[in-house]
Amino acid sequence: MAPKTNRNKRQRDRKAEKERLYGELFAPYEPSHPYSLHFVHNATTCDELKMFIDNAQTTTNFVFDTESNYLTNFPSIIQVMFMKQIQENSLVLIIETAHLPVESSYEFLQLKQLFYLIFRRQSHIYTWGALIDELTPFLQFNLFHLPVSSYIHNTQQVFKLWFNDWLAFQSTLNDNDDQDNDDTLIINAPAFDPIIFLHPLAINNIKRSRNESWSIQDATAYILNQYLPKKCTLRQWSIGLDDRILNRTRTFSSTYRKKMISYAANDCTSLAAIITFMYQSHIPSALQCVQYPSDIGEYSFDQEQNGSSLSFQVHWEDITTSDDEDMDYPMAVHDINERHSMEISNAEPYHQQLHDDNVLTIINDSNLLNDNINIKQKIRQRRTVQAQKRRNQKTSIRHRKNRYIYEIIRPVNMSIKLVKNKLKEFGINYLNVNIVRSQLYIGLKSHQDQIEYENLLSMNSFV
């Protein structure tokens, strides 16, 4: 327990240091979209709900986020942004699911109608992460059903591909000495702790090679050059944010509530700003989306051929989709601290090696940093028996690591034998499977397999 406790403390310290550093490097985040904030709960009137419904009928682009209580994980709020033209006012709703109208009321029926309109087939839903994972805990409130028929855009998984393409595009511009192009993104990464703030090329190569996901805070810093605070992530979100809620928890001050409200709204508006930036960049990889039709309930990966429905897009006609079958579309995304480990005798688990606090693990890989960091060559020496054994163990770890370059993660409560039988039933060709603390890790051969099987395996396939 002590090593785990120490590791958690280091992670907390690193997050606190990142908050401090970003706060010093960048101006505080300011929404680029004008918006009006509204709450939905048991004190919301029928007229207010009617206004939200009318707005939903004329909106096709929605940004979603959710928050749950710290420790208990009780699903507490749903944030929805009705994304309009950049110069138009957008609605941002904070739906407080701990304080909903009674299910038999007319207000509750209106709320269900609102979700029905939001999730209609013509809608585009944007999230930072998988929508189905965000919304599944909220099914208990009977506001909507899953799957939905809308076009689903997991901006987090598209961002990594787009950022790579954007850097390549920027490099091409630099090679052509085209310094007057208004689309050029200039990022001057300062010389700070490389664990916290890497050069854009370095962090891009690391995340792609390890299939790590971007946090929305990092994305905001690297492309918007603004600091998006994340200090309110671990909070009790069911306290009742709006003063109109009579049974709200009164031990929290209005200042505390205002900070949480600002945090919840900024999660939507910052994602809207990132989406707008990506689509206006004229990079084809920004056109990706994921759709799961309601009749089969399965994901299908798609690239839109017509962007006319995206009302916030400027200069859409200049963007063309890519038919390159070799494009790298990462589907499975997970945070750096959620990676699993493997037990190998007398050897450190490879996932732990990848994410160890020792910065040398990151910077001493020339393949990752593409010669951005000079590496001191080690002098060859005659190995002892023990050294040879350690070398063989490291080689074994490296081979095992390579089996999980493309992986899918699912919750599991069955034996490894039953898991393998199920995978055979699904017709899934896997390289390796491993179970760590009720989490199943499936190593696959290629990105194409990863995309296909990610769509095939639901979150409940092994529970």
Q: 45 — phi, psi (to 5°)?
A: -85, 165
Q: What is the pLDDT of residues 219-231, one digit of tens each?
A: 999 989 999 999 8
Q: Which whole number is the average pLDDT over 372-397?
A: 62
Report which secondary-structure segment, H or E, holds 90. Answer: strand 90-96
What confidence score (pLDDT) does residue 264 get? 96
Identify which of 91, 88, 98 has the alpha carbon closest to the alpha carbon of residue 114.
91
Q: 124 — phi, psi (to 5°)?
A: -115, 120
The answer to whether residue 270 scores a pLDDT higher than 60 is: yes
What is the rounded distance in angstroms from the CA atom of residue 413 to the CA atom of residue 379?
Answer: 48
Report which secondary-structure segment, H or E, holds 20. Answer: helix 2-25
Q: Tell the CATH superfamily of the 15-338 domain.
A: Ribonuclease H-like superfamily/Ribonuclease H (3.30.420.10)
CATH topology of domain 404-463: Alpha-Beta Plaits (3.30.70)
| Contact by Cβ (8 Å): 33, 269 | yes
What confidence score (pLDDT) does residue 348 get? 35
**What are the start and end residues of each CATH 3.30.420.10 domain in the chain?**
15-338
Identify which of 308, 310, 309, 317 has the alpha carbon closest to the alpha carbon of residue 282.
317
**What are the start and end residues of each CATH 3.30.70 domain in the chain?**
404-463
Q: What is the pLDDT of residues 275-332, one digit of tens each?
A: 999 988 878 777 777 665 444 344 444 444 343 333 333 232 332 333 333 333 333 3
Q: What is the pLDDT of residues 11-53, one digit of tens each?
A: 778 888 888 888 888 899 999 889 999 999 999 999 999 999 9
Q: Look at 360 and 364; give whichever has higher pLDDT.
A: 364
With a pLDDT cut of 70, the percent of the chain lying above it is 73
Q: Which whole number is the average pLDDT over 215-242?
A: 92
| Strand 35-40 relative to strand 61-68, pairing | unpaired
The answer to whether residue 207 scores a pLDDT higher than 60 is: yes
What confidence score (pLDDT) does residue 294 get? 41
The runs of H, that is alpha helices, within 141-222 are 155-175, 200-210, 216-219
Task: Count other C-beta atoms under 10 Å from residue 329's C-beta.
Answer: 17
Classify the phi-psi angles of 214: left when phi > 0, otherwise alpha if psi is within -120 to 50, otherwise beta. beta
What is the rounded distance in angstroms from the CA atom of residue 62 to the CA atom of residue 310?
Answer: 10
What's this model's pTM, rounded to 2 decimal places?
0.61
> DSSP assignment of 254-307, as one string?
HHHHHHHHHHHHHHHHHHHHHHHHHHTTT-GGGGEEEE--TTT---EEEE-S--
What is the rounded distance in angstroms from the CA atom of residue 130 to the CA atom of residue 114?
Answer: 21
| Contact by Cβ (8 Å): 139, 312 | no
What is the rounded distance in angstroms from the CA atom of residue 193 to the CA atom of residue 275?
Answer: 28
**Cα 408 from chain centroid?**
15
Q: What share of the chain is helix, strand, coil (3-state, %, to 5)?
A: 40, 15, 45
Identify which of 283, 279, 301 has the alpha carbon closest to the alpha carbon of residue 292.
301
When mean pLDDT is compared over 194-208, 235-249, 337-351, the highest value belongs to 235-249
Give the residues across from 289 on adjacent strands. Answer: 302
What confidence score (pLDDT) does residue 332 get? 31
What confidence score (pLDDT) does residue 142 get? 95
| Contact by Cβ (8 Å): 315, 281 | no
Termini Cα distance of the chain: 27
The torsion angle over the Cα atoms of residues 166, 172, 175 and 179, rounded to 10 degrees, is: -60
Q: Which residue has the tokens 């091409």?
A: 172
Question: Mean pLDDT lowest for which of 157-166, 201-210, 370-379?
Answer: 370-379
Q: What is the CA radius of gyration of the chain?
A: 23
